Amino acid sequence: MIQFKFTCNPEVFAGKNSFEKLGEVSKKLNGSQAFVVIDKFLSEKTDIKEKTIRLLEQQNIKAVIYDQICSEPTTDIGNECVAIARKHNCDLVIGIGGGSALDTAKAVAGLIKNMGSIEDYQGIDKLRFPSVAKIMIPTTAGTGSEVTFTAVFIRAKEKKKGGINSKYLYPEAAILDPLLTVSLPKSVTASTGMDAFCHAIESYLSKKASFITKPVSMTAMKLIWENLPLAFENGQDIEAREKMLYASFLAGLGLANAGVTAVHSLSYPLGGLFGISHGTGNAVLLPYVLQSSLPETQRSMEELGFFLTGKKIQAEEFISELKEFEKSLGIPQSLKELGISEGSIEQLVEGAMLVKVPLENHPVCLSKQDIIKIYQSAL
């Protein structure tokens, strides 16, 4: 038995219309001046900004809104937000949106009391002082950012992604309201849903998986397997949206405690170098990484295959079913479809090998040659 610890930090408010609790939750956290990061799409297409201001005003809390997050954030965007929040002496940060808005909000909360810029804290445990309180409200299902200790930013000049990883980034509260996820376009439903699936399967296979994380990761996978196709086909299916939101939270809980593995390491440079969305990059690579990890993971894969499909199937058959599952969601089947060519593999391998912790968590030790082979097979 390995030794392990298990952390579950946010107080969770879940269910239809739970967003209405935002004011109360903010008050409970002693907020008086809130910095609110809202996804640009949501701010333009819904009335969530106005609702947020109203709910906070009812509790005499002022809101400073930043609603220009539209893709994975760069350190420049993050630093711009930090400067605004510091200028207004914000004592509470609220993130509303997908992983990009949530990660930005978490980093801002961390940097209000820690001087310097985002780049100074990318790495592990670099924040010296606790963050101000933060509330995360995911509108995708998703990154699980509402339950993790990480905030990822792209350093645009170097074309590299890097995470701030700190215990101070665990959110104090999370609001999981499925009604906020219905406006999500089909392709984003699919790619973010597969990101959550990757968190679940990678944390399940991780060397750090424990008797607490394994059932959590399995439940997340089952919910996604059963509900992602429904939410993809009919975005207004509230029950499927609700189950996806819970699955994403659980997958994030698995990730926060057992870590992700090689899929995330290999996917990072796809985002940094080519701007490929995090969920899509992970989803495309997933079957190829799983294939490369056989035969060592054969038993676990067969157990999962039985758990998800209800059939006794071989590990390789399960990987084929997974490919079909992704295909039905409109996920690209190869790196070529993402515009990647053989000539980029060397750069990708270099980038992947820098993302060390997930590679260390991977159930099979992967050499540079193994990583080259995975990218080649995914082409």
Whether 154 and 242 have beta carbons less than 8 Å apart is answered as no
Q: How far is the CB of 9 from Fe ion (least distance, A)?
A: 18
| Alpha helix segments (H runs only) across 275-344 | 278-292, 298-309, 315-328
Strands laid side by side in the 150-155 sheet: 123-124, 160-165, 150-155
Nearer to Fe ion among residue 23 and residue 252 (C-beta)? 252
What is the rounded distance in angstroms from the CA atom of residue 135 to the CA atom of residue 170? 10
Quick one: DSSP state of residue 178?
G
Sites for Fe ion among residues 239-278 (CB under 5 A): none
Q: How far is the CB of 200 from Fe ion (least distance, A)?
A: 11
Nearer to Fe ion among residue 131 and residue 267 (C-beta)? 267
What is the rounded distance in angstroms from the CA atom of residue 40 to the CA atom of residue 317? 41
Q: Of 82-90, 118-126, 193-201, 315-323, which part binds Fe ion (CB under 5 A)? A: 193-201
The correct pick among 39, 195, 202, 242 for binding Fe ion (CB under 5 A) is 195
Q: Of 103-111, 165-173, 177-185, 190-198, which part binds Fe ion (CB under 5 A)? A: 190-198
Q: How far is the CB of 81 from Fe ion (least distance, A)?
A: 21
Measured in degrees and rounded to the nearest 5, phi and psi for residue 37 equal -100, 120
What is the rounded distance in angstroms from the CA atom of residue 205 to the CA atom of residue 315? 13
Sites for Fe ion among residues 307-346 (CB under 5 A): none
Sites for Fe ion among residues 210-239 (CB under 5 A): none
Strand partners, 62: 33
Nearer to Fe ion among residue 103 and residue 195 (C-beta)? 195
How many CA atoms, within 13 angstroms, populate the side-chain half-sphere of residue 222? 12
Nearer to Fe ion among residue 31 and residue 254 (C-beta)? 254
Whether 250 and 297 have beta carbons less than 8 Å apart is answered as no
Q: Of 129-137, 189-197, 244-252, 296-304, which part binds Fe ion (CB under 5 A)? A: 189-197
Only one residue has tokens 């219905």, namely 182
Return left, alpha or beta for 116; rule: phi > 0 is left, psi -120 to 50 is alpha, else beta.
left
Nearer to Fe ion among residue 82 and residue 260 (C-beta)? 260
Q: Of 66-74, 119-127, 187-195, 235-243, which part binds Fe ion (CB under 5 A)? A: 187-195
CA distances (Å), origin 42, targets 19, 97, 98, 101, 226: 14, 7, 10, 11, 27
Q: How far is the CB of 104 from Fe ion (least distance, A)?
A: 16
Binding mask 143-182 for Fe ion (x = CB under 5 A): ----------------------------------------
Q: How far is the CB of 103 from Fe ion (least distance, A)?
A: 11
User: Which residue's Cβ has the minimum distance to Fe ion?
Assistant: 195
Strands 123-124 and 160-165: what pairing? Answer: parallel
Nearer to Fe ion among residue 31 and residue 193 (C-beta)? 193
Sites for Fe ion among residues 279-298 (CB under 5 A): none
How many CA atoms, within 13 angstroms, populate the side-chain half-sphere of residue 167? 6
Strand partners, 153: 162
Q: Of 27-35, 188-196, 221-229, 268-276, which part binds Fe ion (CB under 5 A)? A: 188-196
Q: How far is the CB of 348 from Fe ion (least distance, A)?
A: 17
What is the rounded distance in angstroms from the CA atom of residue 295 to the CA atom of residue 303? 14
Query: Interface with Fe ion includes 103 (CB under 5 A)?
Result: no
What does the binding site for Fe ion look like in residue numbers (CB under 5 A)? 195
